Amino acid sequence: MAGPLPRVVDAGLPGLRVIELALHADHRGWFFEQFRTQQYRNLLGQNVRFVQGNVSLSAHHVLRGLHLQPNHPQGKLVGVLRGEIWDVAVDARPGSPTIGQWRTTTLSEPSVSMRRQLWIPPGFAHGFVVTSGPALVAYQCSRVYHPEDEVCLKWNDPDLAIDWPVAEPVVSLRDSRGLSWAAWARGRVGG
Query: What phi-psi label fits residue 12: left (phi over 0), alpha (psi between -120 and 50 degrees) or beta?
Result: left
Task: State CA 138 to chain mean position distance.
Answer: 10
Q: Which residues are the active-site residues?
A: 67, 139
Where do runs of H (alpha helix) occur along the chain?
A: 37-44, 173-176, 181-189
Check residue 6 and report its DSSP letter.
P
H or E segment and range at residue 13:
none
CA atoms within a 13 Å half-sphere pointing along the CA-CB vector of 106 = 9
